[in-house]
Amino acid sequence: MSIVVPTTKEERIALIRENLAEELNFDIIEKIIDAGGSPKIYWGTATTGRPHCAYFVPAIKIAQLLAAGCEVTILLADIHAFLDNLKAPIEMVDHRATFYRYTITAVLEAVGVKTDKLKFVLGSSYQKSAEYVMDVYRLASVVSENDARRASAEIVKQSNNPPLSGLLYPVLQILDEEYLKVDAQFGGMDQRKLFIAAKEWLPKIGYKERAHIMNPIVPGLQGAKMSSSDPDSKIDILESAEAITKKIRKAEAIPKVVEGNGVLAFTEFVLLPAAGLRGKKEFIVERRDEEPLVYTSIEQMHSDYANDILTPQILKPAVSKALIELTAPIRAAYEASKDWQDITLKAYPPPEKKVKKVKDKGSRHPGKPGGKPEDKKPEVAAEGAAATTKEVEEATSQVANVSL
């Protein structure tokens, strides 16, 4: 697969900027490009639940950054993942970090981007070092509780009685910029408050401020009705072709409504730019008894969708087909890698057989010594239900916690 590599400064900058919602201190990146250099950019993700299709949104931007000659560091925030669920043993978190590395690499290779300027760093490789920790202490001394609360407002789960760690996370994430020695951090618009804090905080302890680039918040592929407890509501990166077709068929896509339309948004932020990276920015929608619709920009698609020329009925099969094509090399890489398969089992062990509670009919006194208050009866796991409810919840919390 060939990839279109931008050659001029203007092309490189345009590719870095494509589809961004906002930039802060972009001149830092521009200056490096002007000098013919490679801006160092980092993106972080907590290695919790299995990556699903929403991960394609940052992944495409990362692919564009790599294609534009940036050095990209992906922080696998294993300590954060461990803290997010202290019940998960640390070994499982390690396996999940490895699983993330396999998956993200395969995703980037699937869009044909070279990964020689991509590196993965485990948070645990430096977030426990003496230097880092002193900086955590120092930053916590010059930053107020209020500042920390503001910076973390959109990236940690909000509650009436939040854990203290929620105030520590922004301190860590901001220090990561210094410790990963990057010029910029990339994240979703949900990171905006934290990125603004980063600009203010790092100079307080003598470090330089970085550039920040932000993706828009993109509606989920399956629409707003997506339920965190319904395993059907997410498309796993390794989902089978049949499951992709079935899940996209069930996705919410209100006719003529462009706003909040996850299927259109996925086309805009994943399928079209992925096609662009692979050499031809084009999205084809087959029609019965008519010529196919061929789109080269999202504006045409939005217009046709609003006018019901592009209907959900013809859009969905086109999206399924494109997503199946996009993920085919990922599935192939998975099938070919015994290591990746082994890690998957350790990272996300199959759910324990569920037990069905049988009501005590009163034949035994409850709690009677020797009595068995519950008959255990194995229940066949639903087809395709690879994740336990807990895991799906984790994956959801991760979306909330992670820069997409």
- Specify the residue, 130 or 380, whose C-beta has the smaller distance to a second copy: 130
Give, to the nearest 10 degrees, the angle between helix 90-110 and helix 56-67.
Answer: 60
- Specify the residue, 2 or 160, whose C-beta has the smaller distance to a second copy: 160
- Specify the residue, 89 or 137, whose C-beta has the smaller distance to a second copy: 137
**Shortest distance, CB of residue 394 to a second copy, whole angstroms?**
14
Copy the structure tokens of residue 203.
């100079």
- Specify the residue, 144 or 307, whose C-beta has the smaller distance to a second copy: 144
Give which of 258, 218, 286 is closest to 53, Cα–Cα.
218
**Shortest distance, CB of residue 403 to a second copy, whole angstroms?**
20
Copy the structure tokens of residue 118.
């991509």
**Shortest distance, CB of residue 352 to a second copy, whole angstroms?**
24
Q: Point out which residues bind a second copy (CB under 8 A).
A: 79, 83-84, 86, 127-130, 133-134, 136-148, 161-168, 171
**Shortest distance, CB of residue 152 to a second copy, whole angstroms?**
11
**Shortest distance, CB of residue 145 to a second copy, whole angstroms?**
5
| 283-287 and 211-215 strand pairing | unpaired
- Specify the residue, 106 or 139, whose C-beta has the smaller distance to a second copy: 139
| C-alpha 378, offset from chain centre | 34
- Specify the residue, 169 or 305, whose C-beta has the smaller distance to a second copy: 169
- Specify the residue, 136 or 381, whose C-beta has the smaller distance to a second copy: 136
In terms of Cβ atoms closer than 10 Å to its own Cβ (0-12, 13-18, 19+), residue 262 is: buried
The span from the CA of 386 to the CA of 48, in Å, is 15
The span from the CA of 314 to the CA of 320, in Å, is 10
**Shortest distance, CB of residue 338 to a second copy, whole angstroms?**
32
Q: Are 196 and 209 in contact (CB under 8 A)?
A: no
Give which of 83, 100, 31, 57 is closest to 189, Cα–Cα.
57
**Shortest distance, CB of residue 205 to a second copy, whole angstroms?**
8
Q: Are 73 and 45 in contact (CB under 8 A)?
A: no
User: How far apart, in Å, are the Cα atoms of 111 and each of 31, 190, 204, 239?
Assistant: 28, 26, 40, 17
